A and B are shown apart, each in its own frame.
Chain A
Amino acid sequence: MAEVFRSERVGGEGEAGTALVVQCSDPRYQPHFHDFLRRGLKLERYALLAVPGGAQFLTLVDFLPKFSWAGWRWVKFIGDIAPPSRVILIAHEDCLWYKHVRRGKPGELRAKQLDDLRRVEAGVRERFRDVAVELYFARLDGSSAAFESLG
């Protein structure tokens, strides 16, 4: 790499409001997440929380409370800078963190992931007024990925 890297211009043609995206760290999904946010949801700017398991860390109040404590403080910090008008929570198939922390059969894990997304959605709505919360579930499909809206 050159000593200084200069990025391309970022256009302003997309979403103008403030968005917060919470997604998983999984390397298989990063290009797909980025493409989905930019082209699928037309987000030009968004605050990002990306950790293993995605939004799940915000649900661990009883089980692993340090994750939840840190997570909601980070969400509050982001919201204090610019209250999000839109919060996007993305889970995905075959999540290693869920396998690691939760263990269980694939069908059970998916149900748990969806339940966790709903719980975080409720937590976000408690904290931010007039926020649109969107839930998505992604799965790899060959070299591309499909994103299912969960409403």
Chain B
Amino acid sequence: MVYQEGKLDPRVHADTVAVLCSEAHYQRHFQEFLRRGLRTEHCALMAVPGGAHCLTLADSFPRFAWAGWRWLEFLIDQTGAERVVLVAHEDCRWYLDRRFGLTSKQVRDRQSADLQRVRASIKERIPGKRVELYFGRLEGDRATFEVVA
């Protein structure tokens, strides 16, 4: 729900804000996962390379983090979403970029740690939201998504 001059605007309600990676091979799968897998009715979408990774970069690349947090907080505030969904995926090339200095073996653990870190940050900055973490991987022309505990 959106407040405009003291009135609720029901048009822009979302039940979920999803933060995803930009990766081309996953977009169709992400859409289906949000719609059929998570049964989102109205979902605001934030998609940038690395997905929620940008929200962890306050110390190393603060401008990515600055932009990411403003967008995420804007979406949650404006839509009244109670649920935030963060989805990472296998073979994410953003994580393998040289600027982050990670080997391919280190990436999966870092992604899980980053998702959990972002969940903690969201709960601290925007209390009361349900934050769910998922990890996707391609299997041929399909994709699977599992919960990250």
Q: Name B67's contact: one of A4, A70, A78 (CB within 8 Å).
A: A70
Decide: A6 and B143 in contact? CB cutoff 8 A: yes
1-22 of chain A: CB within 8 A of chain B: 1, 3-12, 18-19
Q: How would you classify the secondary structure of chain A's contact residues: helix, strand, loop or mixed?
A: mixed
Answer yes or no: B42 CB below 8 A from chain A CBs.
yes
Task: Tell which of A5, A70, A74 touches B33, judged by Cβ atoms closer than 8 Å.
Answer: A5
* Beta-carbon nearest neighbor of A140 in chain B: B11
Q: Do A82 and B24 have beta carbons less than 8 Å apart?
A: yes
Say which one of A40-48, A104-112, A123-131 lies at the interface with B: A40-48
Chain B residues near A103 (CB-CB < 8 A): none
Whole-angstrom distance between the Cβ of A143 and the nearest chain B Cβ: 12
Q: Is B75 an interface residue (CB 8 A)?
A: yes
In the complex the two chains form, is B22's CB within 8 Å of A30's CB?
A: no
Asked whether A26 is an interface residue with its Cβ less than 8 Å from the other chain, the reply is yes
Q: Show the binding face of B for A, using Cβ within 8 Å.
A: 2, 11-14, 20, 22-25, 27-29, 31-33, 35-39, 42-49, 54, 63-64, 66-68, 70-71, 74-75, 78-79, 93-94, 97, 139-147
